[in-house]
Amino acid sequence: EVHLVESGGGLVKPGGSLRLSCAASGFTFSTFSIDWVRQAPGKGLEWVSSIDSSSTYIFYADSLKGRFTISRDNAKNSLYLQMNSLRAEDTAVYFCARESAAGMIGFDYWGQGTLVTVSS
């Protein structure tokens, strides 16, 4: 069974940093692209970043302006999101999600999310 489990969220002050992790199991992690999606309290979904299976193609939402870095370790079946210069507007639940098989549009498995709160 496919599982994605996020961790690393918490309370951080504005300007601080945080590193999120996503542990994957139940599938061949090294063959799938994985994404981060966030959801501010009471708001809709916002795509954050994606990374392909070999870390060759990495994309970010324009709104992040270089503050976030996505990475993965296929040997550890893990995905990461390094978040720097955090702002109050980065407060959200952060989900990791697996992209469907190549050529199909949709994220077929999601973790339950980890809450990041940016506040002084």
Partner 1 sequence: EIVLTQSPATLSLSPGERATLSCRASQSVSSYLAWYQQKPGQAPRLLIYDASNRATGIPARFSGSGSGTDFTLTISSLEPEDFAVYYCQQRSNWPPGYTFGQGTKLEIK
> Can you give the binding site for partner 1, defined by CB under 8 A?
35, 37, 44-47, 50, 57, 59-62, 95, 97, 100, 104-108, 110-113
Q: How far is the CB of 90 from partner 1 (least distance, A)?
A: 17
Written as one letter, the residue type at 53 is S
Q: How far is the CB of 45 from partner 1 (least distance, A)?
A: 4
CB nearer to partner 1: give 7 or 17. Answer: 7
CB nearer to partner 1: give 75 or 83. Answer: 83
**Cβ atoms within 10 A of the Cβ of 52, count?**
15
3-state helix, strand, coil in the chain (%, to 5): 10, 50, 40
Q: How far apart are CA 22 and CA 97, in angstroms?
A: 9
